[in-house]
Structure 1
């Protein structure tokens, strides 16, 4: 079974990211193929998130401040394989959905999942390289300020350091569709391809995804806080915690699905036509 794609638009590559067109394309793909995509989102996004939420133990009640932070870190240190497995499953699902939406030859669901798994090592390697580059860049900004003025200057230097990190991530955010739908298997080539594709559009892409994240955060807070408070009154704190986990996982899964569709739409807008791609 393959998905139904909206028209790809003119063959000439666009030089300016159109957020409205990307949103309409992503919404159209999800609406036209909602049964397939919802099943894949449930399998790769919802179930791993629920598994992590329900299996991970909660910190002991009554802890505050530094003690609460140490308790959370201890839980993560003990359960990191489960957390890592959840991230890997969600990453594979993101790539599989992108491959299903825009993969070459209109792949089936099975072929899309296989393509996502094949692209996963490249995606992980590319993200590790990007993360290392971001960390090094931030360190090079923070260290001189720390040497000059201590904590006060270091805090001030966080502004340009975070701006650099956001800019780099904006330039590399199309790695996922490049490896999943574009078939690139070299992580460095994927990074360079994303860098070229987002040239001149990083600020617009970043603003669009920041707004999308903010909207999702508001929806998450509204969808979890009110029902959780009501059920906590009726069934106790445990019922409220379960409600937060269930509804929060649903919102997170929807956001991941929408992210996959929007990333694909942005890549289809900005990438050069097949005959011009390196």
Structure 2
């Protein structure tokens, strides 16, 4: 069993992005920044006023998400393609061209989405059964405890299945169940280390977003409403794209570290 080293994973992820800077920035701009920016400018979330009650706020949010569903689905597909293409491109053993990376990403989109759907369905069934059982036994308190336990369980499962995407993109495993099982096997014994590593990344990203909001505050206060909204959307989209890029690079290095060199690479070493 390989012991995960978070410092090495972050260092190698940063080096991989730096070494392929022009190409990965171009791909991130097309697959992450552009859709994020279009979405933020043309489909902003509804404003929930102070005079709205909880039911009205829920109704407004429900109507909003229903209205953007036709846009969110192709956007999710597009960003999934971008993530898989970047994972392929960052595979230092193959060193594919951009066109080859995108073609490989296209092949992996359906298996990747099926893996996500299977994971979501399994977690939903477990959540309903567990929370429902505790709710029936312990009432409201039992239901709340059940939801908290399910949330913790979902986080752990998410960590164990977090490298299914590089398994698909790098190892060319196109069976979604096999990819999930492979991720589960590779992360065995490293759940706590990976959870702590991912948590630190999330905290760092949240701090960066807060810092960006502070920087854009003068624009929001002094500029016209439309200008302020555009600047805010541009900054948030840029930061979200950078975060997505580095998270993909991190996931690639987590997989590379836990999976070890491929059989082809090992064969090349002894030739």
- On whether the aligned pair clears a TM of 0.5, the verdict is yes
1:182 aligns with 2:171: yes
The residue number in structure 2 matching 1:11 is none
Q: Cα RMSD between the aligned structures?
A: 1.7
CA offsets 1:18-53 (integer angstroms, 9 cap, x no match): 000000000001111111111110000000111111
**For residues 219-258 of structure 1, what are the structure 2 equivalents within 5 Å?**
219-227=208-216, 229-258=217-246
Q: Take 1:103 and 1:178, find their aligned partners in 2: how far apart are those partners?
A: 15
Counterpart CA distance in 1 for 2:47 and 2:201 is 34
CA distance in structure 2 between the partners assigned to 1:101 and 1:57 by the alignment = 33
Gaps spanning 5+ residues in structure 2: where?
A: 265-271
Counterparts of 2:227 and 2:115, CA distance in 1: 41
- Normalised by the length of structure 1, the TM-score is 0.89
1:41 aligns to what SS in structure 2? helix
Aligned residue in 2 for 1:262: 250
1:71-91 deviation digits (Å, cap 9, x = unpaired): 122122122111112111111
Contact 1:44 1:89 in 2 (8 A): yes
Of residues 56, 65, 83 in structure 1, which corresponds to 2:43? 56
Alignment counterpart, residue 134 of structure 1, candidates 101, 105, 123: 123
| Structure 1 Cα separation of the partners of residues 237 and 44 of structure 2 | 17
- Picking from 2, 12, 15, the partner of 2:2 is 15
Give the CA deviation at 1:274: 2.7
1:110 corresponds to 2:84: no
SS at match of 1:16: coil
